[in-house]
Every structure is written in structure tokens, then in C-alpha cells.
Structure 1
Amino acid sequence: MFDKAARSTGHDVIIVGSGAGGSMAAYALTRAGINVLLLEAGRSYDPQAEVNMLGQEHEAPLRGVGTPDKPFGYYDATIDGGWQVPGEPYTTAKDEKFEWWRSRMLGGRTNHWGRHVPRFGPYDFKPFSRDGIGMDWPLSYDEVAPWYDRTEEIVGLWGAPNGLENHPDSPPGIAHPVPKPRVYELLIKAAANDLGVPCVPSRYAILTKDKPDDVAPRNACYYTSPCGRGCSIGAAYQATTSVLPLAMATGRLTVVTDAMVSKVVMKSKHKADGVEYVDRKTGQTYKVTAKAVILAASACETSRLMLNSRNDDHPNGLANGSGQVGRNLVDTVGGYTGGIIPGLEGRPIYNEEGADQAHLYIPWWLYKEQAEGKLNFARGYHFEIGGGFRLPGPWTGGADLPKVNGADLRAAMKRKMGNRVHFSLRGEMIPNKDCYAEIDPNVRDKWGIPVLKFHWKWSDQEINMVQHGLDTARAIIKRMGGTVVNPNDTGESNIRPGGFIIHEGGTARMGDDPKTSVLDAYNRCWEVPNLLVADGAMLTSNPHKNPTLTIMALAWRACDKLAADIKQGAFA
């Protein structure tokens, strides 16, 4: 299906990276009549041939637990990836911690992402105008909304019209029906609502209706397999079962895998000519050229490429006259708590698995209080909730199990199955001067390419946010009659390391001023207009809402503009 041998230079656009932004760029451009060469650092991957959707943990090595090469377990779809990748090191500043996830496979993280797809709202695009912190985007929600509509239609999602402040709904006819809430979700909703906290139907890029197509037919979820394994029936969105096959069907897409891009090659000071890449299997270096180049290798990899592409005209890194490439590094704020709920013990055990994601979630709700200065942090968070019939696990330390063995232990475990709930906090980080990536002058990867060095420090904004989230979740657990599993955690001790939530972004941000940003409102580098960025690096801010849907929508928007420019003779 994918042409690994192609080395031609007769392409209009080169795209680096095949994940959320790169694959959507390929789809948008090829459908617009543009010839595209897509370079992917990882190997080819076909979910329909490689996914074991129904494999059991006892059938897997080590009973399927996570390992360094499979952090999320044996069956997880990640290939040649994780927070540590052999031969591809990165470094961190002394006494600091940042974890960088890479996914070296066709389709990138779309093969194993969480698939939570809220839209950014009007407040999210203009944060500085609301609280005087950070920077406004150079575009508004209304400007992006048409591309949200298009993206949701091709991606497919379930969702409901929740009618919430700053949480835009989809237009009628786009979102699929939401799965029925499970017992523990209904209990969380009742307790949260009693405390004035909303709990509403979630939005996930998972089909609950069939999506017929002659090229890439996809089927509705039948609630049987964890989504992180990949989805051979196409219910859970992956680029490899959707936009990439659709782009290939146009005859205008060439895909080269195992292509480790090392730098952008310039034709003149303000015009990119193409890229150089190393074939990961042979070590041979190639140069390919095009009218335009799109970097969509993931936020940190893209900034690494730009910094490693420095030359006499761009001594601080390509398109980095502002000094902002690699700066403004953000990740979603992560926190976690859970509870043991006696009221859920001993109920009849039946199949309530549903989809492998939360059917309900808790969105941010305290906009008014924040605007009135009543909170000690400026931005919002949400909770992704969980529970269900799971065996008592190590995260509770078995604290609620009796010290018995044999039949008595099995009976106790059966009685307590399903008595746990958990709350995963996902919040907005505000960019700060202490979080950035630069080139490490002393370390190179196995192909001789200089690696990134990370600097990271949470601010009081994020620590205070997590503390508020812990207090809120604990109140909900107590209202359910439960016991909190980590009652001594504080915001500072509970906050997850930078990079841990795998939503890094901001390292080549959009803006309306070349002095403070890298990209304009159409993802084009101010200093090199035929060089675009279509991944999380573009994010001016990183709201608590998971960013992938927005990355795809903005990639499509940018590529519509790029296609029109190319057809009008630009960059010839």
C-alpha cells in the first residue's frame, strides 16, 4: 500500500511526520489536487493485519504488563516508541525532569491515543484578553469552527449537545449517539451535581454508528477491546484506517517510512527547498525537494529539526529570529486520585464494560469565579473519570481486602469488584520561561543528529490547580460515601512530571507578531513562508481540552490555504 522505495523530487509538498497533523495535511492536500511526499521516521503499520483486539492478558508475555519497550502493556499499539527509544536519547537539565514520548510508526500516536476530542472554545483562543496572562491566538473560535466541523465528520466521534459555557457542541448531524452511562458514572454524576459540579456526556473519536466508505469503511464500536491496542474495525479513529488510505486513493500521495529527517534544506534565506533524511535501515542520506515543506513530526521533534537546521542566514535555528523556537514548552497538567466506594460493593456482576473510555466526564465549570479572582490559579481543568468491574489492584495497596487466602480471598475480591472509582485531572499549563527545549551540544543520536535537552519547572499556577482538583474530587468521593486512596497527597506531590500526559506543545507557536511568535495564523513561518508547522508546536496556548482535534482542524485549515497558494503559482 505504501511506497517505501520512492525517492523522487517531483512533489509539490513534503510532509514530515504521519501522526494527527501530518496525516490530516496529507488528506487535505491530496484531496485538493496537490502531490505530496510523506516522510515517516517509523516503520509501516497496518492495524487490520497487526492488531490483536481480543488477546487475553494471560496469553501475553509477563501477562501483558508494561515494559520499557511497551510502557502501556504488551498489546498496546505503540511500535518502537515510548518515553525512551533505543538509539534516540534526549537529556534534561540537572535536577529537572521531563519525559518525552515518541511513536515511531506510520500514523504516529493516532494509533494509541486517548481519543478525547473536545473543541477549544472562544475563551481558549483569547486567554490573554480574559486574564492578562500568556498570549492570545491570532485567530478566533469562529474562524476555526468550520474546520472543526469538517474534521469531526471525517474523524467520527460520539458526543451530545451539553450547552456548556466555553465548551462548543457540534452542529446537528455530526456527532454519533453517546453510550449509555454505567452505574459508577451515574453515581459520580449524582454526587458531583449535588456539589454543584457538572458531569456530562463525553466526546470521543469513536464511532457508535457504521461509517461506510468505498476506500476506508469503518464499523461501530462493539465494546470489546481496549482502544489503545489499535482498532482493526476502524471504530476508534486512527490515521492508518482513515485519512491515510483516503489520501493514498487519490494517487497523489507517496509515503516513505523509516525516513529520519535531519534538517530542512534552504533554497534562499526565505525559501525552503526540501529536507534531508537518513534511511534508518541502511544509514544512507537522501535529499528530497518540493515547493513547500510541512513539519508535523510532533512538537518537540519539529522544534529539534528547526534548531538543527540553523545556517548562516538563520544562525539561531531556522525561522527563529524571534528566539521562540523551542520556547513556551507546555504539557497538559496531570493529577490523579481515586476512591473506594462501599456502596458499589457486592452488586451483581454483569457486562457493563461499554466503550473503553468514559461515557461521562467533568468539564471545567468555574469560569465566573475565576474571572472574579476567587481562585488562586488562572486556567481550567477537567476530570476524566473511571471505574467498573475491575479486580482490586495494586494502586489501592489491597488495603480494603481481608488478610485471608483461598476461597475466602476469592469471595472477598468478587464482593469488592467494581468498588473503585478514579479521577484523572487534565489541566491547562501556562507557558513559563523555565520550560523549553534546546539542542544539547554534546549528545547525538545513533544517526549523528544532535538531540534535545529539556528544561522544566511547574509554576504555582499548575500546583494550585492540582490541589483544587484533589479537593474537588475528594469531596465527590466523600459524597459517594467513599474513602480516598491518596489522602495525604498535595498539589505539589501529586502533579505528574512534564511530558507524562503526552500533550507537549507550544515550541513554535502561532501569533500576530513576528517578534513574539514563529508562525502566522495559517501555520506559516514568518521568516520562511513555504515552511509550515502542523503539529502541537503551533499551539499558542494549550487549554485543558485535549489538543489533537484542534491540531487536525488547524492542519486542514492551513493546507486549504497552502493548496490555493500553490495553484496560484506561489513558491514556484
Structure 2
Amino acid sequence: MENIHYDALVIGSGAAGSFAAKELTEKGLKVVLVEAGRNISTEDFNPNFKGPKEKGIQLWARAKAAVTGQHIQSKVAMYGRQQRHLFVNDRENPYTTPADKPFLWIRGKQLGGRLHTYGRMLLRWSDYDFKAASRDGKGQDWPLSYNELAPYYDKVEKFLGIYGTKESLANVPDGQFMGNSKLTSAEALFKAKTQERWSDRKPIPWRYMPPNIKRIPQPIIAAQETGLLTIRTNAVVRKIRVDVSTGKATGVEYIDRETREVGTLQASIVVLCGSTIESVRLLLNSATQQHPNGLGNSSGTLGKYFMDQVPSMIFGTIPGKKGFEGDDTHPVDPFYGVTGGVYIPRFENLDKVSNNQFVRGYAFQGTIGRLYARDDKDAKFGIMGFGEMLPYADNTITLNPKKKDSYGIPVPHISCYMHDNEKRLLKAQTEAIKDMLVNAGFELEFCGSYLGVEEFGRGAFPDADWFSRLLFRLNFRKSMCMGAAIHETGGARMGDDPKTSVLNRYNQSWDVPNLFVTDGSSFPSGGVSGATLTIMAVTVRACEYIARGHAEGKFK
């Protein structure tokens, strides 16, 4: 047992954990940041990698990854071969699903987690997300509103330096932008043609974080600069420890990934930021005599109401345009390549029921004209759709008592499937994007989802070899099942009633007062845009509350 007693212990170093470390150290707390994966170095981001930097189909690279230990990670929708080592080895990180309910768990274990592989697109949510249940009666509202979270969105955006444009859209609120993002000429054409036909559809440029050349997440660097941060990488937390007499968390028990030795760390406050599935798994595995069904699970909702967004994909070409367009907003990242694109915010069922075939709606993000193409080939587009999944009690994360990982920890069993509402929504989602692209004069190659794939004209990836195209057709549905959106949330939701939620409005456990959970598992609903910016803002808000309570001696 290490004799140091920290003020706060943060589990996980991604979107939530990095900001928790920053906020707490900057408020004077002595913090230990615990990461299951390894540290990173400049070698992880070698700019001299041979091959295309742009993420895309890369079928042969996917096949090679699949047979060498990444049969799940290689199914990620937009694949970049140079990033392969930033995803986990699936053989070493198993999980289970029902045979008829596949789920793709895409993840990375290193300092910074999935911050090294996400698209850096950061969008605010609105009360169309936070208060959705009040309009349609499905699930629960968030215990906080957009106005309560807006100051924390401001703080995160200013710190990261987000690019975007002011659009005055109620369901995608404007942010604090350091500069304008841009559309390519093809994206601008698409925007004009779409708005000309559908006044309620408002394509906008991406809102995104520019490349981070330092590679270590900026919040972690800021935390290090305080002199109050200790980082423990290669530490696989298997249990949160609780004092039976006080009911408070005392720290964690972990396994050193390299030596396999068991160790403990002590702290007055534990902030769980392990990512949605890992955090729920850890809470379940931290069951005690006082918490027999999982730590903090007096409501019985821990592991329930798990969600991911419902994904679709469409690719094609832009007649009359050759090659691809660059973007001079900022220098191209030497490792990741280009960024930016077009976003089509949700337009269904906002202020009124515009489509009574399903509840809530969908949005799209992608690129038009930016995907790599030779100068003698037609320019390309690639767009993904993201539909909102309702929170269902039977979409769950549980522990599989019959299967353990290499550290002896029970693996998560993920059961998540589309109900009838999501299937109807997904059909409308794919039809809507097809209509918009055809309306703009573009040519479709294929459009599909877990429900199936349609091919048009010369078919999917017409310039690829026949074997790659065969692999694509055989594996497409599997690569678009639940999890493919990589926007998973829920399982330890926050609320105003301890009988129906795991956490209160400050992400604090109802049952363990010095335990906080601030990652996506805390979300009561799943939205249609990425959760990353909201995770960051929720974490900053929770840490403000933690620091105030610590100063008042509430967590001793």
C-alpha cells in the first residue's frame, strides 16, 4: 500500500479524466490520475508513416488488423492504418454480447484514451437533448438544463480553442469560437441546394478542436503545470475500496499491467472517468456487503438504460469535380491529416412532431470533396448518420461471471439492440440523406446500415479490387451494428430521484458521497451528436462542486 494520501483520485485519462485532473489541481487539490493503459511518446505519432493519413475504407489494412488481434477495432467506420496501435488488442481485452445482439466496443488504452482517435468534433447539446423526455414522455429529463451547463461549455471551448461558425440554431447552440471553420466548395453547394428545397435543414461547417501537436491532452499538461498531479499509467483498477464504517470510498485496488502486482491508492475523493462501459463495469465489480448489486446501486438502475446512437453510412462522388479540396483553416496535422467537414443538425420532431413514425430524430456529419482522390478521379463524399436511441431498461451492461480478462476481472456483457422505434428512425435517416445528396446533384455509390446495404451505379468503392469489395459486402452489416457510432452513453445515469438514478445533478453517487462519475455513463439520454464536449463540460461542473465541498471539509 502506498502511504501517500491524495485529495482526489481520478480513474481514466480521456475526455472526462483529463479535465477532472486539470480542474481539481488548478483548484489546489493533490491529485493522482490512474490510467489502465501505457504512457505515450512522440513515436506514437510518427509523421513519416507510409501510406494515406486520411481515414477511410482501407480494406486490406483492416483485414491485416483483424487477423492479428483487432477483429473488432478494425471494423471502426473510418479507419486509419497509422492509428492502429492507438486501439486495443481485442484478444487481450475481451467482452461478451448475446449472439443475436452484436455490439462493437471501439476503444483505446493509453494516456489520453480515445482522445487520440476521435474526430475532434465538439458540439454543444441543447434542451432539445436535456429536456427531451418532457416533450415525448420517453425516459427521464436531465436534472440540469442547457443554461446551467452553458458556462462550462464556454470554459472548455475557450481552453481547447474550438473553430466554428455562429449559426443561431436553437438545437445546436453557438459556442466560444477562436476562429471560423469552413466548408469546401462542394459542401457549400450541398448546403445551398439543401436549404433551397428544405428550409428546416441547416447544414453547417464542423465545430472542432484543431490538431494538438503536443499529443498529450492539453488538460493533462495544464494539470502537470500545477505541480499537484501524479500520473500512474499501466494501472488497471479492479475495485473501488469503501470503508464499511463510514460508507465512503477510500481509494482503489489496482493491478500493475507490467508486473501483475496488486497495489492500492488512497484518496479522500474518487472521480470515475473510465469511459461509459468501463465505469459501469468497475462499479459492478466493486460490490460489497453493503452494495451487493454493485457500488452505488441502491436504485437498481446501474447498468441499465445503456445507449449508443444508431449509425448509417453513405458514400459517392461529385460529378464535375476531380481530386480533393484542402482547407487552410490551420496547418494539416502531419500524423492525422486533414480535418473539417459538414454537419447537418437534427431537423425532425423538434418544436413539433414532424414525423410520427418515430420518436426524436437524427443528424449527419461527414465530408464532401475532402476525401482523398487522385486528380483524374471524381471527388468523393462520405457521410455518417447518427440517430437517437431511446433509453431502455433492457439495454444493459452486466458482468459475465463465467469469463474473465487476463487480470482475473469479470468482463462486461453488453446487451444493446435497436427497438422498433430505432428501426423506423434508421429507415427514415437513410432515406433523408439519400434525398439530400441526390438533390445536390451528387452520385451515390452505396448507402447502408445494420438493416442492410443498397448499391447504386458502379457500386461500392468501384475502384477497389474485387476481393476488397467482396469483403466489404460480406462484413458491412457487422461493421454497422450497435457500437459503430462510438457515442455510447448511459448505465449510471444522473437524476433528481435516488430511487431512479445512480447519481445526483452533480454526478455524485447517491450512496457513496465522495464518489463521482462524470463520463458518458452518467447521461440520462443519448442525443444525436457526439458526447465528448458535453462530457468535458459536465466534468468541469462536477469538479467545481467537488472543490467547493473539499474546501468545506465535506469529504474528510
Superposition deviation, residue 365 in structure 1: 2.1
Instruction: Say which of 6, 11, 15 aligns to 1:16.
Output: 11
Question: What is the CA distance between 1:361 and its match in structure 2?
Answer: 1.7
After superposition, the Cα gap between the structure-2 partners of 1:350 and 1:478, relative to the gap in structure 1 and judged at 3 Å, is closer
From the superposition, tell whether residues 195 and 521 of structure 1 become closer, same or farther in structure 2 (CA, over 3 Å).
same
Cα separation, 1, equivalents of 2:327 and 2:257: 41
In the TM superposition, what are the counterparts of 1:104-115 in structure 2 within 5 Å?
A: 104-115=109-120
Which residue pairs with 2:263 in the alignment?
Answer: 286
1:50 equivalent in structure 2: 44
Deviation beyond 6 Å, 4+ runs, structure 1: none
**Per-residue deviation, 1:64:** 8.6
Shift of 1:168: 1.0
Check 1:322–1:182 CA distance in 2 against 1; reply closer, same or farther (3 A cut): same
Aligned positions, number? 506
Aligned to 2:415: 455
- The percentage of aligned residue pairs carrying the same residue is 35
- Contact 1:343 1:481 (8 Å CA) reproduced: no
2:539 maps to 1:535: no
Written as runs of structure 1 = structure 2, the 5 A alignment for 1:397-408 is: none
Residue 416, structure 1, aligned to residue 377, structure 2: yes
Aligned residues of 1:275 and 1:288 also touching (Cα < 8 A): yes
TM-score (norm 1): 0.83
* 1:471 lines up with 2:431 in the alignment: yes
Partner-residue secondary structure (3-state), 1:274: strand
Change (3 A) 1:515 1:390: closer
Q: CA deviation at 1:58?
A: 7.4
The C-alpha deviation readout for 1:126-178, integer Å capped at 9, x for no partner, is: 111111111101111111111111111112210111001221112xxx30222
How far residue 124 of structure 1 moved from its aligned partner, in angstroms, is 1.1
1:58–1:148 distance in 2 versus 1, CA, 3 Å: closer
What's the counterpart of residue 65 of structure 1?
Answer: 61
Shift of 1:101: 2.1
Partner of 1:290, secondary structure, is: strand
SS, match of residue 376 in structure 1:
coil
CA contact (8 A) 1:15 1:39 kept: yes
**Mean alpha-carbon deviation: is it higher for 377-386 or for 134-143?**
377-386
Residue 259 of structure 1: aligned partner: 235
- Give the corresponding residue for 1:440: 400
Choose 65-74 or 307-316, whichever is displaced more: 65-74
1:319 to 285, 296, 302: 296
CA distance in 1, matches of 2:236, 2:503: 24
What is the aligned partner in structure 1 of residue 309 from structure 2? 332
1:381 CA displacement: 1.7
Aligned residues of 2:181 and 2:206 also touching (Cα < 8 A)? no
For the Cα contact (< 8 Å) 1:78–1:112, is it kept in 2?
no
* Paired position in structure 1 for 2:554: 570
Rounded to whole Å, the distance in 2 between the matches of 1:266 and 1:326 is 20
Q: Determine if the alignment matches structure 1 residue 183 to structure 2 residue 188.
A: no
1:153-552 alignment to 2 at 5 Å?
153-170=158-175, 174-196=176-198, 197-206=201-210, 231=212, 233-234=213-214, 240-268=216-244, 270-344=247-321, 347=322, 352-353=326-327, 356-368=338-350, 371-372=352-353, 374-388=355-369, 390=371, 414-418=375-379, 420-486=380-446, 489=448, 492-493=451-452, 496-552=480-536
Report the aligned-residue RMSD.
2.4
CA distance 1:390–1:250, shift in 2 (3 Å): closer
Q: Which residue of 2 aligns with 1:102?
A: 107
- Matching residue of 1:133: 138
The alignment partner of 1:12 has SS state of: strand
- Name the SS for the 1:106 alignment partner: coil
The Cα shift of 1:504 comes to: 1.2
Q: Report how far residue 442 of structure 1 moved.
A: 0.4
- After TM superposition, give the deviation of residue 372 of structure 1 in Å: 3.0
The residue number in structure 2 matching 1:40 is 35
Q: Secondary structure at the match of 1:382?
A: strand
- 2:540 pairs with 1:561: no
The aligned counterpart of 1:211 is: none
2:103/2:414 contact within 8 Å kept: yes
- Give the gaps of 5 or more residues in structure 2: 333-337, 454-476
2:342–2:367 CA contact under 8 A, matched in 1 = no
2:31/2:228 contact within 8 Å kept: yes
- Cα distance in 2 for partners of 1:351, 1:414 equals 10
The verdict on how the C-alpha distance between 1:389 and 1:359 changes in structure 2, with shifts beyond 3 A counting, is closer
**Which one of 22, 26, 31 corresponds to residue 21 of structure 2?**
26
Residues 520 and 120 from structure 1, CA distance in 2 versus in 1: closer, same or farther, beyond 3 angstroms? same
Alignment partner of 1:523: what SS?
coil
Q: Secondary structure at the match of 1:65?
A: helix
Q: Which runs of 5+ in 1 are unaligned?
A: 1-5, 207-220, 222-230, 393-412
CA distance in 2, matches of 1:112, 1:474: 28
CA shift digits 1:527-559 (9 cap, x unpaired): 001011021111111111210111011111111
d(CA) in 2 for partners of 1:256, 1:282: 14
Deviation for aligned residue 1:352: 2.5
**Structure 1 SS opposite 2:6:** coil
Name the CA distance, whole Å, in 1 between partners of 2:221 and 2:47: 21
Letter in 1 for 2:355: K
AA at the equivalent of 2:204: V
Deviation larger for 322-331 or 64-73: 64-73
Tell me how far apart the structure 1 counterparts of residues 342 and 27 of structure 2 sit (CA, whole Å). 37
The separation in 1 between residues aligned to 2:452 and 2:301, in whole angstroms, is 30
Letter paired with 1:188: F
Contact 2:364 2:384 in 1 (8 A): yes
CA distance in 1, matches of 2:306, 2:276: 9
Aligned mates of 1:179, 1:158 — CA distance in 2: 5
Q: Distance in 2 between matches of 1:52 and 1:142?
A: 42
Q: Deviations for 1:328-363, whole angstroms, at most 9, x for unmatched residues?
A: 11112211113333233xx5x575355633333211
**Match in the other structure for 1:214:** none
Aligned to 2:459: none
Query: For residue 452 of structure 2, what is the amino acid of its counterpart?
Result: S
Given the superposition, is the C-alpha separation of residues 78 and 536 from structure 1 closer, same or farther in structure 2, using an over 3 Å criterion? Answer: farther
Query: TM-score by structure 2 length?
Result: 0.86
Is the Cα–Cα contact under 8 Å of residues 64 and 75 in structure 1 kept in the other structure? no
